Amino acid sequence: MTSPPPLHGLHHLKLPVSDLDTSLGWYEAVLGATHVKQFDHYDNDGVRYAAIVALPGVPTPLELRWAPQAAGVMRECDPVMLAVETRGQLDAWAERFDDLGADHSPVLEGAAGHLLVVADPDGIFIRFGDLPPGGLADITMPTGNPEPDDRWLNPPPMQHPRRAAR
């Protein structure tokens, strides 16, 4: 068997949204995203169905895709975790979210460090986590369940089937 060909990073990430304009405004205002208009997607009738944004400090663009059904299914799922350097930066993000009225968790102690979770307009959770000085390689996961029952740490849609069946 041959080895897989090399990869060169992530091209872009994609999140479903129920209202493209509302979500675009939220990502710009709350997360400081910049709309990269030249990559927007339009159908044959000229209706825009996707907007591309750049998040400060994140080299991979984010596509906001108008897909209301998928956005509804993703409610309280946490598909993305953004990295910050310090606990203090998480506190600063929490203060920003408070100032903007964004629904968010407090700064929490997670298994891999501190984290903060914000809900976008569709209730999709975006996580922020601090990294130790050595990066991911310096994280030691604890034994046992690393995600205790908590709306933000272990939302019901993200619980594994065995746990949910109890």
DSSP state of 149: S
Task: Clarify whether residues 69 and 81 are in a common domain.
Answer: no
101 and 133 assigned to the same domain: yes
Largest CA distance in the chain: 55
For the segment 115-131, the average pLDDT, to the nearest whole number, is 95
Please tell me which residue, 29 or 162, carries the higher pLDDT value: 29
Rounded Cα distance between 92 and 67, Å, is 32
Mean pLDDT of 161-165: 59
pLDDT per position as a tens digit, 65-104 = 999 999 999 999 999 999 999 999 999 999 999 999 999 9
Give yes or no: residues 82 and 135 share one domain.
Answer: yes
pLDDT at 166 over 60: no
pLDDT at 154: 81
CATH of the domain at 96: 3.10.180.10
pLDDT at 162: 64
> Are 61 and 82 contained in the same domain?
no
* Domain residue limits at 66: 11-73
Compare 137 and 116 and report the one with higher pLDDT.
116
The last residue of one of the domains, among 73, 93, 114, is 73
Considering the domain architecture, whether residues 48 and 100 belong to the same structural domain is answered as no
Measured CA distances, 140 to 48, 78, 145, 160 (Å) = 44, 21, 13, 22
Is there a single domain that holds both residue 64 and residue 79? no
pTM of the predicted model as reported, rounded to 2 decimal places: 0.89
Same domain as 28, residue 18: yes
User: Could you give phi then psi for residue 11, rounded to 5 degrees?
Assistant: -80, -55
Give yes or no: residues 88 and 100 share one domain.
yes
Q: Where is pLDDT greater, at 148 or 102?
A: 102
Question: Is the domain of 81 the same as that of 153?
Answer: yes
pLDDT digits (tens, 9 = 90+) for 6-54: 989 999 999 999 999 999 999 999 999 999 999 999 999 999 999 999 9
What pLDDT, on the 0 to 100 scale, is given for residue 158? 83
In a domain, 166, yes or no: no
**What is the model's pLDDT at position 153?**
83
Partners of 114 in the beta sheet? 109
Contact status, residue 64 vs residue 44, Cβ threshold 8 Å: no
Same domain, 66 and 98: no
Confidence of residue 163 (pLDDT cuts 50, 70, 90): low
Give domain status of residue 165, yes or no: no
Q: What is the number of domains present in the chain?
A: 2
Specify whether 99 is located in the same domain as 69.
Answer: no
Domain end marker among 29, 49, 73: 73
Query: For residue 147, is it within any domain?
Result: yes
One domain for residues 55 and 104: no
